[in-house]
Amino acid sequence: MLYSLVSRIRRWRWRRLYRPGRIVARFLAPDIRREVEIIDASQIEGGVVFARVRTWNVLYAVKGLAPEPPFGAIRKIEIKDLWTWTGEPWGGAVPESND
Protein backbone atom coordinates (compact mmCIF):
# COMPACT_ATOMS: atom_id res chain seq x y z
CA MET A 1 0.00 0.00 0.00
CA LEU A 2 2.79 2.44 0.90
CA TYR A 3 4.62 1.62 -2.34
CA SER A 4 1.46 2.35 -4.33
CA LEU A 5 1.06 5.71 -2.64
CA VAL A 6 4.68 6.67 -3.24
CA SER A 7 4.41 5.63 -6.90
CA ARG A 8 1.27 7.71 -7.38
CA ILE A 9 2.93 10.74 -5.82
CA ARG A 10 6.03 10.29 -8.00
CA ARG A 11 3.94 10.02 -11.18
CA TRP A 12 1.90 13.09 -10.19
CA ARG A 13 5.11 15.06 -9.64
CA TRP A 14 6.56 13.89 -12.96
CA ARG A 15 3.39 14.93 -14.83
CA ARG A 16 3.56 18.41 -13.29
CA LEU A 17 7.30 18.88 -13.73
CA TYR A 18 7.87 17.34 -17.18
CA ARG A 19 5.12 18.94 -19.26
CA PRO A 20 5.59 19.38 -23.03
CA GLY A 21 7.07 22.75 -23.95
CA ARG A 22 8.66 23.28 -20.56
CA ILE A 23 12.38 23.74 -19.98
CA VAL A 24 13.58 22.13 -16.76
CA ALA A 25 17.06 23.08 -15.54
CA ARG A 26 19.38 21.91 -12.78
CA PHE A 27 22.97 22.39 -11.74
CA LEU A 28 24.79 19.04 -11.86
CA ALA A 29 28.02 20.40 -10.39
CA PRO A 30 28.89 23.87 -9.06
CA ASP A 31 29.28 25.36 -12.54
CA ILE A 32 27.62 22.78 -14.83
CA ARG A 33 24.01 23.40 -15.82
CA ARG A 34 21.78 20.97 -17.70
CA GLU A 35 18.64 22.24 -19.40
CA VAL A 36 16.03 19.81 -20.69
CA GLU A 37 13.33 20.95 -23.12
CA ILE A 38 10.44 18.51 -22.89
CA ILE A 39 8.98 17.71 -26.32
CA ASP A 40 6.66 14.78 -25.56
CA ALA A 41 5.60 13.27 -22.24
CA SER A 42 3.14 10.65 -23.48
CA GLN A 43 5.20 7.84 -21.88
CA ILE A 44 5.68 9.60 -18.54
CA GLU A 45 3.93 6.75 -16.69
CA GLY A 46 6.84 4.51 -17.69
CA GLY A 47 9.42 7.10 -16.64
CA VAL A 48 10.34 8.15 -20.19
CA VAL A 49 10.19 11.52 -21.97
CA PHE A 50 11.23 12.78 -25.39
CA ALA A 51 13.41 15.83 -24.93
CA ARG A 52 16.22 18.00 -26.22
CA VAL A 53 19.12 18.43 -23.81
CA ARG A 54 22.03 20.80 -23.43
CA THR A 55 24.71 20.67 -20.77
CA TRP A 56 27.07 23.60 -20.43
CA ASN A 57 29.58 25.22 -18.12
CA VAL A 58 28.04 28.48 -16.96
CA LEU A 59 31.33 30.01 -15.84
CA TYR A 60 33.02 29.25 -19.17
CA ALA A 61 30.13 30.95 -21.00
CA VAL A 62 30.15 34.02 -18.72
CA LYS A 63 33.92 34.45 -19.07
CA GLY A 64 33.74 34.01 -22.87
CA LEU A 65 35.79 30.81 -22.90
CA ALA A 66 33.01 28.75 -24.49
CA PRO A 67 29.74 29.69 -26.19
CA GLU A 68 26.37 28.68 -24.78
CA PRO A 69 25.56 25.51 -26.76
CA PRO A 70 22.28 24.92 -28.60
CA PHE A 71 19.89 22.18 -27.57
CA GLY A 72 20.70 18.76 -28.99
CA ALA A 73 18.47 16.55 -31.11
CA ILE A 74 15.22 15.10 -29.81
CA ARG A 75 15.81 11.80 -28.06
CA LYS A 76 14.07 9.35 -25.78
CA ILE A 77 15.38 9.66 -22.22
CA GLU A 78 14.52 7.90 -19.00
CA ILE A 79 13.79 10.37 -16.21
CA LYS A 80 16.19 8.58 -13.88
CA ASP A 81 19.03 9.35 -16.34
CA LEU A 82 18.21 13.02 -16.94
CA TRP A 83 20.35 14.37 -14.12
CA THR A 84 23.30 11.95 -14.27
CA TRP A 85 26.67 13.73 -14.40
CA THR A 86 29.72 11.74 -15.50
CA GLY A 87 32.24 14.56 -15.30
CA GLU A 88 34.28 15.81 -12.39
CA PRO A 89 32.39 16.61 -9.17
CA TRP A 90 33.83 20.14 -9.17
CA GLY A 91 32.61 20.85 -12.72
CA GLY A 92 35.18 21.78 -15.34
CA ALA A 93 34.85 21.08 -19.03
CA VAL A 94 31.72 19.35 -20.27
CA PRO A 95 32.47 15.96 -21.87
CA GLU A 96 31.48 15.83 -25.56
CA SER A 97 29.56 12.55 -25.24
CA ASN A 98 27.23 13.91 -22.54
CA ASP A 99 24.56 15.17 -24.92
Q: What distance in Å separates the CA atoms of residue 39 and residue 27, rounded to the nearest whole number?
A: 21
- The answer to whether residue 20 is domain-embedded is yes
Q: What is the mean pLDDT of residues 34-49?
A: 96
Question: Percent of the chain scored above 90 by pLDDT?
Answer: 79
**pLDDT reported for residue 47:** 94
pLDDT of amino acid 1: 74
Confidence check: pLDDT of 87 > 60: yes
Whole-model pTM: value is: 0.86
Please count the structural domains in the chain. Answer: 1
CA 80-45-36 angle, to 5 degrees, is 45
Give a yes or no: residue 9 inside a domain.
yes
Residue 86 lies in domain:
2-94
- Residue 79 scores a pLDDT above 90: yes
Task: Give a yes or no: residue 99 inside a domain.
Answer: no
Q: CA 65 to CA 50: how far, in whole Å?
A: 31
DSSP β-bridge partners for residue 51: 38, 75
